[in-house]
């Protein structure tokens, strides 16, 4: 463990530190890289390159979600569920993507994100992904990453170059958040030990989670859309950035953003309060009886109103 990082962890009391391209294997034990007050979660490749490692402060509750690692051979990542005091848990996904990996690696990471999405938990995808977001001529890997971020509504929080050499400045280390509102601070910190700079991130809700907080789901109501007006607005949209874009990835991103803008006018996303916990005893038969009860009650109210009207007339 480099002494500079050890000193910074001790002085600033970081809660979580993630390292990419650790170049470790089984010959290096956790005791050799131990830092007082922290626990180690790692996934090694070999001493020649690759690997990810995360230090987690011993005051935090966490567990490694092993079932998300089942089909991730070839992916150098970790899936760690972490919970701060009085906060909902979130998923931290440190990932290192080698620069020479093929484009299919994004299909594998997409499967991981799909599995995380089914857990209805906020998550952060972080790491050295070797995709330069500052390039004016992005590579196919960068375009695939941008498309992935668009499809899963992930926000890229890092805006500055993270690797600076004498001849280039690139943004290849990323933080993608499923909820950018919880990212309070994100900055790039120069380090003398590497030409890769460190990313400092402050994440968390401004208010602690209360047991009385309600849960909500977001959805669009498409049944009441005025199709005629919707088609008119679609025709008014300028599709030049889609039709004349030679890159299919960027064309897709432009198309879906324009379509969402029109949809937001006709079927805006609405929040609906839902139960925090599912009722395991609820089934279709009970739901049918509830609907029947409500129908009878509604009919009875109408009949009572008619009887009251007759009494008033008499």
Asked if residue 16 lies in contact with residue 82, where contact means CB atoms within 8 angstroms, the answer is yes
Beta strands in the chain (DSSP E): 16-20, 38-43, 52-57, 61-64, 76-77, 80-83, 90-96, 122-128, 155-156, 163-164, 169-170, 173-177, 183-189, 198-203, 215-219, 270-274
**Per-chain mean pLDDT for the chain:** 84
Average pLDDT over residues 31-38: 87
Of residues 293 and 121, more confidence is placed in: 121
Q: How confident is the model at residue 39 (pLDDT cuts 50, 70, 90)?
A: very high
Measured CA to CA in angstroms, residue 174 lies from 102, 124, 138, 205, 246 at distances of 19, 10, 15, 21, 26
Please tell me the predicted confidence (pLDDT) of residue 17. 93
Residue with more model confidence, 207 or 160: 160
- Determine the length of the chain: 314
Element (H, E) at 149: helix 140-151
pTM: 0.66
Is 197 in contact with 164 (CB distance < 8 Å)?
yes
Q: Give the pLDDT score at 209.
A: 47
Q: Is the pLDDT at 280 greater than 70, yes or no?
A: no
Q: What is the pLDDT of residues 213-239, one digit of tens each?
A: 567 777 888 888 899 999 999 999 999
Reported as a single tens digit per residue, the pLDDT across 168-211 is 899 999 999 999 888 888 999 876 556 778 898 988 765 544 44
What does the DSSP assignment read for 249-314? HHHHHHHHHHHHHHHHHHS--EEEEE-SS--TT--HHHHHHHHHHHHHHHHHHHHHHHHHHHHHH-
Are 270 and 218 contacting, i.e. CB atoms less than 8 angstroms apart? yes
Say which CATH architecture domain 3-203 belongs to: 4-Layer Sandwich (3.60)
**DSSP state, 66?**
G
Whether the per-residue pLDDT at 140 is higher than 70: the answer is yes
CA atoms within 13 A on the CB side of 176: 21
Residue closest to 222 by CA, chosen among 178, 262, 274: 262
Q: Where are the domains of the chain?
A: 3-203, 215-271, 279-313
Distance CA 90, CA 176 (A): 13
Percent of the chain surpassing pLDDT 90: 43
Average pLDDT rounded to a whole number, residues 300-313: 61
User: What six digits make up the tokens of 72?
Assistant: 């991730």
pLDDT of 251 reads 84
């Amino acid at each position: 463990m480099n002494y500079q990082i050890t000193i910074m962890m001790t002085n600033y009391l970081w809660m979580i530190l993630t390292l990419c391209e650790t170049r470790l294997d089984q010959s290096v034990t956790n005791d050799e890289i131990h830092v007082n007050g922290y626990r180690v979660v790692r996934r090694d490749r070999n001493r020649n390159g690759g690997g990810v490692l995360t230090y987690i402060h011993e005051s935090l509750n966490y567990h490694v979600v092993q079932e998300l690692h089942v089909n991730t051979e070839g992916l150098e990542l970790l899936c760690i569920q972490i919970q701060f005091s009085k906060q909902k848990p979130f998923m931290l996904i440190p990932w290192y993507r080698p620069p020479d990996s093929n484009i299919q690696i994004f299909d594998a990471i997409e499967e991981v994100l799909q599995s995380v999405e089914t857990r209805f938990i906020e998550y952060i995808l972080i790491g050295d992904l070797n995709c330069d977001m500052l390039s004016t001529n992005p590579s196919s890997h960068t375009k695939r990453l941008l498309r992935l971020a668009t499809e899963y509504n992930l926000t890229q929080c890092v805006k500055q170059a993270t690797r600076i050499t004498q001849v280039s400045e690139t943004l290849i280390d990323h933080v993608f958040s499923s909820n950018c509102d919880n990212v309070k601070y994100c900055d790039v910190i120069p380090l003398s030990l590497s030409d890769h700079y460190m990313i400092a991130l402050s994440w968390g809700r401004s208010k602690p989670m209360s047991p009385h907080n309600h849960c909500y789901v977001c959805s669009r109501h498409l049944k009441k859309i005025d199709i005629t007006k919707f088609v008119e607005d679609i025709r008014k949209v300028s599709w030049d950035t889609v039709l004349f874009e030679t890159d299919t990835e960027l064309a897709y991103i432009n198309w879906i953003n324009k379509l969402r803008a029109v949809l937001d006018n006709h079927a805006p996303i609405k929040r609906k309060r839902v139960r925090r916990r599912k009722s395991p005893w609820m089934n279709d038969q009970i739901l049918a009886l509830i609907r029947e009860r409500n129908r009878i009650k509604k009919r009875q109210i109408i009949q009572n109103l008619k009887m009251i009207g007759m009494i008033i007339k008499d």
